[in-house]
Amino acid sequence: MSRESDFYLRRLHSLLGIIPVGLFVAQHLVINHFATRGPEAFNNASNFMGNLPFVLFLEWFIIYIPLLFHGFYGVYIAFTANNNVQRYGTFRNWMFMLQRITGVFLVVFIAWHIYQTRIQKALGADVDYDMMADILANPFMLAFYIAGVVAATFHLANGVWSFLVSWGITQSPRSQQIVTYVSMVIFLILTVIGVQALFAFV
Amino acid sequence: MSENNTAVQEREQQTAQKTVRFEIRRQDTADSQPYWESFVLDYRPNMNVISALMEIRRNPVNADGKKTTPVNWEMSCLEEVCGACSMVINGRPRQSCTAIVDQFTQPIKLEPMKTFPVVRDLVVDREFMFDSLKKIKAWVPIDGTYDLGEGPRMPERKRQWAYELSKCMTCGVCLEACPNVNDNTNFMGPALLSQVRLFNTHPTGAMNKDERLATLMTDGGIGECGNSQNCVVACPKGIPLTTSIAAMNRATNVQMFKNFFGSDHMVD
């Protein structure tokens, strides 16, 4: 299965996970947080983002293309691993496995999320506060979205850690340990922002 | 005299009462089906897995009292510097020569390192690693048609540090521990990445560092590392494998940009 270009594809996968996909996820969760200020604030923010100049270009080149590559190449990476946390139950080995589990789950979640929002918009629906409130009124959907947000923030926070290792920025065990703590803080902050926004629709 | 006698008696009593149970994953040929066989041995103070395997070889009778074939395994140095006797003991890969029986819960399970092709019983073929050493040019090239003279001097502190990396015995334990070394990938494994760092550190070896990095940037190279960091936990020699990998990540990335943007001077 492996090919000669694997090294470059891996590096590209690592880079795209942070720039632009990771930055977009953080931005998306922050914009969602307008919902905590009420439906009107959310609709204004949503309209602003949805009516940016060159929005289709921005969507394709900042979101869809990088995300598709990161997602599908990531699934390939996830299924080439033989996880062995029962043999080595170390923190990093668990993170290794969870990164792959959340990644595969996110492919399913994001596909569904895009179908429910962006594709519905293309079919004529309005993406606004009411649309999300309708979706999240279903308790199963609320649970699914909470799982999706937590998986995304985990995958991003842990991805920041492995990005810094893969690009050779953090080499010493000490620097890697400190970035582990930093990534935990990123995870907690983004999770609070994301989940608060979800409950603002309920 | 009487003290000595008591000590001998105590030892004999210990030996007579205690037994050690081994469960060994056996395989008669490279292609045949593996099976488990149990052995019960008399306990001896300070016995290790190798001495137990020698005992089984001396008297190949399994726990059911049936005569069987002796268990095959590999060994050489018996002091944890050659790597030949590596196997999976109670679920974890390590050298069997330093596996003291007292330190394990029983039954003690012995398995071959199945990341590698099993030859027979506990014997595996680690040729994959030796081939990879050739690929990464894990040597300092000094042969020529005339005397090349002395190489550049290596700073003493660097030599001491590099010595730690040179302790690698190509035992294969880190490959067995790595979730990304398997049939789905051609990943050469953590030990090999660290060897590139060792030979690129050597002042004469550094003259070919771009060639070694180029190998790491091909199929089975450093791109396959997923940072589970099991290797550094598993390494019996305490080699800082994950630091080596991160260092080689930086080196290959710099090389990648050099190759694309840089001049034709690849080495420096």
User: Quick check: A3 pLDDT over 80?
Assistant: no
- Could you tell me if B54 lies within 8 Å of chain A, comparing CB atoms? no
**H or E stretch covering A122:** helix A120-122
The CATH class of the B2-124 domain is alpha beta
Fold type of domain B127-261: Fumarate Reductase Iron-sulfur Protein; Chain B, domain 2 (1.10.1060)
Q: What is the pLDDT of residues B177-222, one digit of tens each?
A: 999 999 999 999 999 999 999 999 999 999 999 999 999 999 999 9
**What's the pLDDT at B13?**
65
Name the DSSP class of A18. I
Joined together, the tokens standing for residue B17 give 């009462």
Residue B251 touches chain A, beta carbons under 8 Å: yes
B229 with A9: Cβ contact below 8 A = no
Q: Is B32:B69 a contact under the CB 8 Å cutoff?
A: no
State the amino acid at position A64 in one-letter form. Y
The partner residue sitting opposite B253, judged by closest CB among A6, A168, A173, is: A168
- pLDDT at residue B267, as a whole number: 64
Under the banding of pLDDT at 50, 70 and 90, the label for residue B268 is low
Would the CB atoms of B216 and A171 count as touching at under 8 Å? no
pTM over cut 0.95: no
Distance of CA B158 to the CA centre of its chain: 25
| B222 burial via Cβ count (<10 Å: 0-12, 13-18, 19+) | buried
Q: Give first-to-last CA distance, chain A, whole Å.
A: 46
- Pairing status of strand B19-26 against strand B92-95: unpaired
Per-domain boundaries in chain B: 2-124, 127-261
User: Looking at residue B16, what is its pLDDT?
Assistant: 62
Query: Residue B253: CA atoms inside 13 Å, Cβ hemisphere, count?
Result: 18
What is the CB neighbour count within 10 angstroms for residue A94?
14
Partner B contacted by A167 (CB < 8 A): yes
Residue B72 has pLDDT above 90, yes or no: yes
What share of chain B has pLDDT > 90, as a percent? 85
With cut-offs at 50, 70 and 90, classify the pLDDT of residue A4. Answer: confident
Closest CA to B129 of B220, B244, B235, B256: B220
Say whether residue B231 is in contact with chain A using an 8 A CB cutoff: no
pLDDT band (50, 70, 90) for residue A28: very high
Closest CA to B69 of B80, B79, B60: B60
Within a 10 A sphere around the Cβ of B230, how many other Cβ atoms? 27
Would you tell me how many other CB atoms lie within 10 Å of the CB of residue B218? Answer: 18
What are the boundaries of each domain within chain A?
A: 6-199
Look at residue B6 in the predicted model and tell me its pLDDT: 74
As a whole number, the mean pLDDT across chain B is 93
Tell whether B217 is within 8 A of chain A (Cβ). Answer: yes
* Residue B26 DSSP SS3: strand
Q: How far apart are CA B201 and CA B50, in angstroms?
A: 36
State whether residue B51 sits within 8 Å of chain A by CB: no
Fold of A6-199: 3 helical TM bundles of succinate and fumarate reductases (1.20.1300)
Query: Which pLDDT does position B245 carry in this prediction?
Result: 98
Phi, psi of A86 (to 5 degrees): -70, -25
pLDDT of residue B144: 84
Write the burial class of residue B90 (CB in 10 Å: 0-12 exposed, 13-18 middle, 19+ buried): middle
In the Cβ-directed half-sphere of A4, how many Cα atoms lie within 13 Å? 2
Distances from the Cα of B139 to the Cα of B114, B126, B142, B243, angstroms? 28, 19, 9, 21
Chain A: residue whose CA lies nearest to B220: A2
Nearest by CB to A90, which of B217, B218, B229? B229
Closest-CA residue to A120 (of A131, A106, A104) = A131
| Range with lowest mean pLDDT among A17-31, B78-92, B143-157 | B143-157
Contact A4 B218 (CB under 8 A): yes
Tens of pLDDT, residue by residue over B214-247, are 999 999 999 999 999 999 999 999 999 999 999 9
Whether the CB-CB separation of B129 and B192 falls below 8 Å is answered with yes
Q: Do B250 and A167 touch (CB under 8 A)?
A: yes
Q: Convert the pLDDT of each residue in B82-141 to its tens digit.
A: 999 999 999 999 999 999 999 999 999 999 999 999 999 999 999 999 999 999 999 998
B182 lies within 8 A of chain A by CB: yes
Task: Assess contact for A148 and A106: CB atoms under 8 A.
Answer: yes
- Which of B88, B186, B227, B256 to probe by mutation at the A interface, max A CB count within 10 Å? B227
Find residue B86's DSSP bridge partners: B95
Q: Which of B219, B242, B248 sits opposite A2 (nearest CB)?
A: B219
Least confident of A23-32, A149-158, B138-147: B138-147
Residue B7 binned pLDDT confidence (cut-offs 50, 70, 90): confident
The reported pLDDT for the residue numbered B266 is: 63
The mean pLDDT value for B49-59 works out to: 96
With beta carbons under 8 A apart, name residues in chain B contacting A92. Answer: 227-230
Residue, of B139 and B16, whose pLDDT is higher: B139
Which of A117-121, B145-149, B179-183 has the weakest average pLDDT?
A: B145-149
A2 in contact with B at a CB cutoff of 8 Å?
A: yes
Q: B186 to chain A: nearest residue by CA? A: A2
Q: Rounded to whole angstroms, how far apart are CA atoms A43 and B41?
A: 76
B247 near A CB under 8 A:
yes
Closest CA to B102 of B56, B177, B44: B44
**Residues of chain B neighbouring A80 (CB-CB closer than 8 A):** 180, 182, 184-185
Long-range contacts of A3-6 (CB under 8 A, 24+ apart): A3/B219, A4/B218, A4/B219, A6/B218, A6/B219, A6/B221, A6/B223, A6/B224
Q: Could you give the angle at the alpha carbon of A191 between the alpha carbons of A69 and A143, nearest 5°? A: 85
* Mean pLDDT across chain A: 96
pLDDT 10s digits, A162-198:
999 999 999 999 999 999 999 999 999 999 999 999 9
CA distance B219 to B222: 9
Q: Where are the alpha helices (DSSP H) in B28-80?
A: 49-58
> Which residue type occupies B232?
V
State phi, psi for B26 to the nearest 5 degrees: -110, 155
In B137-208, which ranges are continuous DSSP H helix? 156-166, 173-177, 190-201
Which pLDDT value is given to residue B12? 67
* pLDDT of res. B200: 96
Taking the C-alpha atoms of A19, A23, A25 and A31 in order, what is their torsion angle to the nearest 10 degrees?
A: -150
pLDDT tens for A55-71 read 999 999 999 999 999 99
Residue A1's pLDDT is what?
44
For A85, the 3-state DSSP assignment is coil
Tell me if chain A has a CB within 8 Å of the CB of B219: yes
Q: What is the pLDDT at residue B101?
A: 96
The pLDDT score that the predictor gives to residue B148 is 84
CB contact under 8 A, B91 and A3: no
Residue B2, pLDDT score: 54
